[in-house]
Amino acid sequence: MDEKNKDSDAKAYDAPYTKQHLAGARAKGRKNFAEISRVLPQVLRKLGLDNRLKEQTFINLWPHIVGQPFGTLSRPIFIDNERNIVVAVRDASTGQEMTFAKVQLLKAIRQAARGVGIEITGMRFDLKRFNEGPVDPIIEILPDPSHGLPEPTAEDLAAIVVTPEQYEEIAALGISYKEAQPEAADALVRRVQSLFEKEIRLRTWREGKGYPRCNKCGDVTPRLHGTTLICAQCFAAGMS
């Protein structure tokens, strides 16, 4: 490969996800990782990428975290005020099986949570919402009359410009995840980064469309709930 092609590859869209990037970063040792860990929270605050974005990335990883059969028999709904992950299960027997495996599951859940920079202290089950599809956890409790906000297409999200600083943030998250879970396959690390990038793009798109902000967590959201005008996740966590 000539130097011109090398330069082209280095600037490729998915450069932060490459195996070479992760291997090179790990080769710099724990000192470099400690520096990234120190800077990461500052960068997140600067870019406005708060815990809600990281929590959504974690939730989207659920099938990879718990494996099968639980990856298809359960799905996470939200994280409550005590930092428990609330999980919808297909039926009572699935909840019982997951209870029997709770020690092993929580170990995997906490490792994955640490990898994306959040804390999970426990897990509890919900028997009602498994078949409701992707949910606004409380829409049936407090529906919002506003349905005028647009939703992005895949093309809309692809058109969002991700800055070099955001790509560095995506790369740093992959390093953090690999450090928390050394046995994780490179494909899974790239999946974590890809989901995180999608959340960055979605938030940027919503901000540009004038979506309202939750008065509690600051996240941009299609709907606000209650008299305090907070997002569905914050509302559901407060009711749990």
180-213: per-residue pLDDT in tens?
A: 888 888 888 898 899 999 989 998 999 888 888 8
- Single pTM value for the model: 0.62
User: Is residue 217 classed as helix, strand or coil in its secondary structure?
Assistant: coil
pLDDT value at residue 188: 87
Same domain, 198 and 219: no
Task: Give the pair of three-digit tokens for residue 119.
Answer: 């804390």
Are 156 and 203 members of one domain?
A: yes
| Confidence label for 35 from pLDDT (cuts 50, 70 and 90) | low
Q: Is residue 157 part of a domain?
A: yes
Do residues 103 and 158 both lie within one domain?
no
The answer to whether residue 72 sits within a structural domain is yes
Residue 81: the pLDDT is: 82
Number of domains in the chain: 3
CB 103: neighbour CB atoms within 10 A?
A: 7
Rounded Cα distance, 240 and 235, in Å:
9
Same domain, 69 and 131: yes
Asked if residue 173 and residue 200 are part of one domain, the reply reads yes
What is the H or E stretch that residue 207 is in?
helix 186-208
Q: What are the pLDDT digits (tens) for 69-124?
A: 999 999 998 888 888 999 999 999 999 999 999 999 999 999 999 888 889 999 99
Does residue 2 lie in a domain region? Answer: no
Domain assignment of residue 81, given as a range: 65-135
The reply to whether 122 and 157 lie within a common domain is: no
Domain final residue, candidates 87, 106, 135: 135
